[in-house]
Amino acid sequence: MNTTSAEAGGRSRRGGLLLSFVLVFCVLLLSAQAPGSRRQTSLLQSWILSAAAPIAGLASSVSRAVSGAADSAVDTFSARSENNRLKAALARQEQELFRLRAEVSQAGRERLLLASGAALPGVVTAAPVLLLENRAGLQSALIGAGTSSGVVAGSPIAVSEGLVGRVISAGATVSRAQLLLDASAAVGARIVRTQELGVAKGDGRGGLRLNNIATTSRVQVGDVIESAGIDGIYPRGVAIGKIASVARGSNMFLEIRVTPAARFSQLTDVLVLAPSPAIGAAAQGAGSAGP
């Protein structure tokens, strides 16, 4: 009895479900044929469109957000790339401007040096001092001029105030010079006031000595000495310095200290003078004998 009742209840539920499916199908069929609020669509289509509208709106919003984020990322990347390009271009322009300013400044210094050194004999060119060297009594300089500018070994160098030294080796664009302060440097000298001749030598410590002046000399502190032109290297009449002290030595000559005319610690540019005729001829001969 109980089994029969359960079977009857199951058949009744299945019948109800079937009836519900049939009714839903009929409603959908009728709504598909019935006109909607817009004459071009059916009622079913209207329902579907109404149900799908929120989903379509949400999809559209998401699409716009993703598209906006992508565009923003592209714009940010493009802006950074352009910013880096502009920075690089600005750095190149600043370097070029620095170079041009340096060239203009150097050209201006050389013009002033040439003008101030107009009284010096046989100026060949002006040259920047690239390096000053001072070690163990050896004092030299590298200058930015060489054989391409007419510089040869033996060419004197000077500033408007006085002698600086001489070129001892010359490359195409760079030369090495021995300064008068070097312990092995020497130049024939004359005391301007008394016309006495001697030899000015470097002491390797930033000063000069005037040798071979007899104890009978009338030399005084403050006397000017200049190149005598008797050594075959330096021209005549270029200032060397002033007498700083005079003392009697242990022999027949005075001990004389000289303050250099040129300010060696502040050398930035020098004038290269024409070498003596003998040195110039030797340099020309060496050049013509080359390959």
Residues 266 and 130 in one domain: yes
pLDDT in tens, 70-117: 677 777 777 788 788 877 777 776 666 555 555 555 566 666 666 666
Q: Is 115 part of a structural domain of the chain?
A: no
Q: Is 201 part of a structural domain of the chain?
A: yes
Q: What is the mean pLDDT of residues 26-33?
A: 56
Q: Is 278 part of a structural domain of the chain?
A: yes
Eight-class DSSP state of 187: E
Q: Which amino acid is at 162?
A: G
Q: What is the DSSP string of 252-285?
A: SBEEEEEEESS-GGG--EEEEEPPPHHHHHHHHH
Chain position carrying tokens 């930015």: 144
The answer to whether the beta carbons of residues 161 and 263 sit under 8 Å apart is: yes
For the chain, the domain total comes to: 2
CA separation for the pair 163, 96 (Å, rounded): 35
* 137: phi then psi, degrees, rounded to nearest 5: 85, -10
Residues 175 and 270 in one domain: yes
**Strands annotated E in 103-161:** 123-135, 138-143, 156-159
Q: Is 38 part of a structural domain of the chain?
A: yes
Rounded to two decimals, what is the model's pTM? 0.60
Lowest mean pLDDT among 8-12, 40-44, 267-271: 40-44
Q: What is the CATH number of the domain that holds 150?
A: 2.40.10.340
pLDDT in tens, 197-231: 999 999 988 899 999 999 999 999 999 999 999 99
Q: Which amino acid is at 246?
A: V
What per-residue confidence (pLDDT) applies to 187?
96
Tokens of 94: 């600043």
Could you say which of 37, 61, 85 is where a domain stops? Answer: 61
pLDDT at 291 > cutoff 50: no
Give me the residues paired with residue 26 across strands: none
Alpha helices, DSSP H only, in the chain?
2-33, 43-116, 277-289
Of all residues in the chain, the percent with pLDDT exceeding 90 is 46
pLDDT in tens, 142-170: 999 999 999 999 999 999 899 999 999 99
